[in-house]
Every structure is written in C-alpha cells, then in structure tokens.
Amino acid sequence: MHHATSGGPGRLAGNGAVVARAPAKVNVHLGVGPLRPDGFHELQTVFLAVSLFDTVTVRPAEGLSLAVRGEGSAASNGPASVPADRRNLVWQAAELLARHAGVTADAHLEVDKSIPAAAGLAGGSADAAATLVALDALWGTRATRGDLARLGAQLGSDVPFSLLGGVALGTGRGEQLSPVLARRRWDWVLGIAGEGLSTPTVYAELDALRAAGSLPDGADLVSPEPVIAALRSGPTEALAAALDNDLQAPALRLRPELRRALQAATDAGAPAALVSGSGPTVAALAADEDDADRLAAELAGTGVFRDVRAVHGPVHGARLVG
C-alpha cells in the first residue's frame, strides 16, 4: 500500500479519500490543418477553461474499481454514454500513472460528472486530468506537472490543457501548450444539446467536405492571434468578431438543427455564438455575468437545449480540493 508522502490541501480527507476537480473547456479558436500521416490533424487552437467542473474522488482499495455518477452515467436521466469500466479514461489514467510510478494500481475511483459527455467540452479529458492529480497525491508518486502532462497527452490530446487550465494556445494535436495571460473574465452561456456527437465522426465529416472541395483544404490556417489579443484584454466585441471554429461546418452538416441553436443565441442578444470543439454544445458569449444570467434564462425558455449553463473563464486546471 502506498501513501501520500507530502501534505497539502484536501489530501487524505475522511477514509483516506483524495478529491480533485477539473474544468470543461471551450475552444475560442480552432484551426484544423490537414490530416497528418499518424491520423491526427495538425491543430492551432485557443483553449479557455470554464467554470463547469467534474470531480474525481480516489480512495485506498485493492485493485482498481470505478463508479460514475451524474451527466452521462447509467443512472442519469439523459443519454447514458460514459462507460464505468476500463474503457473509461479515468481507468486508463490510473493504469498509466501506476506504470509510470512503478506502483500497483490500487484505488477506488468515483467520478461525479457535471460536464456533459461527448459534448465538445472535454469532459473525459477533465476526468483523466483530475484522476492523475488525485492519484499522484494518494500514491505519493511525486510526479511533476510536466510528467503528468506527458502522461495526459498519451490519454488524449486535450488532457494536458485540462491539467493546465486558464487560457492556452494549443498546437500539434492540441497537446503542445503555450499559456496565455487573460486579464479579464469572460462570461458564457453553454447550450447543451440532447445527444452527444462523436469527435472522430466530426473530423471525418470535415475531411469529406474538404475532399469534395466544399471547404478549403486546411493548408492555410486562420491565425489565432486576433482571438489571443482579444482574450487578453479586449472589449467583448473584439472577441465576438474573432471567434472561429473549423469544426463548426462539419458539426452543422451532421446536426442541421444546431443552426437554429446558434441563431437562438444571437437572437437572444449574445454578441456571438459558436459550436464548442466538435459540438454539439453551443457556446454563447455574454457581455458580463448579469448578461450571461439573462441570456441563460432566455435560452432555457426556447426549448432548443436540453440544459443551459452560465459559466465563466478562465479558471484553474485540475487540482486537489479541500
């Protein structure tokens, strides 16, 4: 049995439990380059971590076991899509960290999901990031943040950002990060659609649209600089004008009703709205917190979305909670 060797907030609470949480993300810019020989696309993306969190609790146990609650779990009202076995990214995170640290993968993992699954919000990546942080503390692996980021990148391209949080420019598959300092808070309303959308399906649709000549081939990416400049300190209008997502067109092809959802957001007065990542979540920019609350209430009344959440960013990445 391995115990945490250093103290810190939230470590070894009741029955030796360690709790960590990690945020959802919105891609405020997502430029998708051509397909690489390894099957991934070269990306230039600007991630913003927003205040919608999943929580992972880990406890001493023999062997690995897992319970999933909340959004996407078998017990939830919505569509059940989150596996509660070794297919879950948190299970894979535990095995990877154990191998890296040379410890036995002994823990009971509990995932409390507020981030809807397959929504373009990197919920699975958030869970993996929170698991790495929690198990590092439980097992006392003394892994550095850099170690965790490298392990995270093996689990999924968005996991390093779920660890880092804040605002960052992502290149490569999105796993190579340069932090960006944002000097102001940004308020958003997330409009959650009923059914998830598979990320590989959306990329495949983009490739098909490009191959058919319906979209430019991706050799010339739109620069992320205007979004980065606007995010730093800009007025809301500057960010509204710069928002950009290459996955929006294929997501709209696969889900034509998302057009109505985007329209509903701008009709309700959002300065701009875009599909988050591979969708189908719609991220509507708000002028400030009051505007976000007003927008959320109005969008909830349209019946276009399964759920509507007012959030803000940037927020911190995966960390232990007391």
Residues involved in catalysis: 25, 158
Q: Give me the least distance between CB of 92 and ligand ATP, in Å please.
A: 8
Beta bridge partners of 275: 282
Interface with ligand ATP by CB under 6 A: which residues? 72, 81-83, 88-90, 111, 117-125, 127, 158, 196, 199, 277-278
Nearer CB in complex with ligand ATP: 122/320: 122
Q: Give me the least distance between CB of 116 and ligand ATP, in Å please.
A: 7
Q: Give me the least distance between CB of 197 and ligand ATP, in Å please.
A: 7
- Residue 47, CA atoms < 13 Å, CB-side half-sphere: 32
Nearer CB in complex with ligand ATP: 53/234: 53
Nearer CB in complex with ligand ATP: 2/253: 253
8 A C-beta contact, residue 124 and residue 159: no
SS (H, E, C) the chain: CCCCCCCCCCCCCHHHCEEEEEEEEEEEEEEEEEECCCCCEEEEEEEEEEEEEEEEEEECCCCEEEEEEECCCCCCCCCCCCCCCCCCHHHHHHHHHHHHHCCCCCEEEEEEECCCCCCCCCHHHHHHHHHHHHHHHHHCCCCCHHHHHHHHHHHCCCHHHHHHECEEEEECCCCEEEEECCCCCEEEEEEECCCCCCHHHHHHHHHHHHHCCCCCCCCCCCCCHHHHHHHHHCCHHHHHHHCEECCHHHHHHHCCCHHHHHHHHHHCCCCEEEECCCCCCEEEEECCHHHHHHHHHHHHHHCCCCEEEEEEECCECCEECC
Q: What's the rounded Cα separation, in Å, for the pair 89 and 126?
A: 10
Q: Give me the least distance between CB of 248 and ligand ATP, in Å please.
A: 13
Nearer CB in complex with ligand ATP: 127/291: 127
Nearer CB in complex with ligand ATP: 271/317: 317
The CB-nearest residue to ligand ATP is 124
Q: Give me the least distance between CB of 278 and ligand ATP, in Å please.
A: 5
Residue with tokens 């929580």: 55
Nearer CB in complex with ligand ATP: 129/268: 129
Q: Give me the least distance between CB of 285 and ligand ATP, in Å please.
A: 18
Count CB neighbours of 56 within 10 A: 28
